[in-house]
Amino acid sequence: MHNQLETLRQFISTSNYIVFFGGAGVSTESGIPDFRSVDGLYSQKYKYPPERIVSRSFFMSNTADYYDFHKARLLHMDAKPNPAHIKLAELEKIGKLKAVITQNIDGLHQSAGSVKVLELHGSVYRNFCMECGLNYEVKFISGSEGVPHCSCGGVIKPDVVLFEEALDDDVMVESIMHIKNADMLIIGGTSLGVYPAAGLLNYYRGSKLVLINKSETPWDERADLVINGSIGEVLNAIVL
Ligand code: APR
């Protein structure tokens, strides 16, 4: 691990356009379970298979059951940023990191101070009425009984990308721009199994592709450096 950290330090010190691409594994050290690890959300027993619940068709047909799950398993308003979020914000502050591209919906990168955060799968902190478009705070959602409704009577939907839904075009275009410009791409805490998010990595053209993940991913062979470990500990070990 020592040599790997040394290589990571060298890559960072010789880069000025670092982009981070992350997933649920970045937030596990903040107490938020990921999806596909053995203790992840998709392994937990629930009234319906969790992967079915977080789909557009389920949201439309079983809205009350969706919200039971959303409030119980997707809202973590007390979670705090961990060293991974904090170090990435520091790298941005010193001008080395230009963007965090995340699949997470927990807002922890912003809480840690990151400014350019591209949320491929949206955020639980943004909610809107499906009829009139009025925006609602997450507190309104967590404080509501059953399905939250707008003052106009419409159903409120969290601004999270459910299965069967498209990602935001502007977020995708900006993410591709940053990855194309990156001289270093750090990927962390993601199984890289969900598209189109994982497909964005194909736009990286540099030679400092770093993967920091507890388990293997389909991109391990293509990475210039693979560190199998806890991303909070690994990034925390980097002295800037
Ligand atoms: N440090 C490093 N890696 C970690 C850590 C950690 N502390 N904790 C977990 N991991 C790794 C796991 O080994 C796993 O490979 O992070 C990865 C998390 O993978 P997933 O649970 O599949 O999460 P993610 O890749 O973000 O899922 C992508 O799938 O369900 C959809 O929309 C959901 O955004 C999510 C998408």
- Distance linking the first and last C-alpha atoms of the chain: 18
Identify the pLDDT of residue 166: 97
Distances in Å between the Cα of 153 and the Cα atoms of 53, 58, 213, 223 are 23, 20, 44, 50
pTM: 0.97
Identify the pLDDT of residue 75: 97
CA dihedral 52, 58, 62, 65 (to 10 degrees): 40
Identify the pLDDT of residue 180: 98
pLDDT, average across residues 85-89: 98
Identify the pLDDT of residue 240: 78
Fill in the DSSP letter of residue 30. G
pLDDT grade, residue 200 (50/70/90)? very high
Q: What does the pLDDT look like over 6-43, one tens digit per residue? A: 999 999 999 999 999 999 999 999 999 999 999 999 99
- Cβ neighbourhood burial of 2 (10 Å; 0-12, 13-18, 19+): exposed
Q: How do beta strands 122-129 and 135-136 pair? A: antiparallel
pLDDT grade, residue 134 (50/70/90)? very high
Identify the pLDDT of residue 2: 81
Q: How many Cβ atoms sit within 10 Å of the Cβ of residue 127?
A: 22
Asked if 178 contacts 203 with a C-beta cutoff of 8 angstroms, the reply is no
Q: Which amino acid is at 239?
A: V
Pocket of ligand 1 (CB under 6 A): 23-25, 28-29, 34-37, 40, 103, 121, 189-191, 193-194, 213-215, 230-232
Q: Is the pLDDT of residue 45 over 90?
A: no
Identify the pLDDT of residue 164: 97
Identify the pLDDT of residue 62: 98
Cα 189 to ligand 1 centroid, rounded to whole Å: 5
pLDDT, average across residues 59-66: 98
Active site residues: 121
Tell me how far apart the alpha carbons of residues 153 and 199 are, in angstroms, rounded to a whole number: 39
Q: How do beta strands 225-227 and 209-212 pair? A: parallel
Please tell me the residue having the least CA distance from ligand 1 atom 9: 25
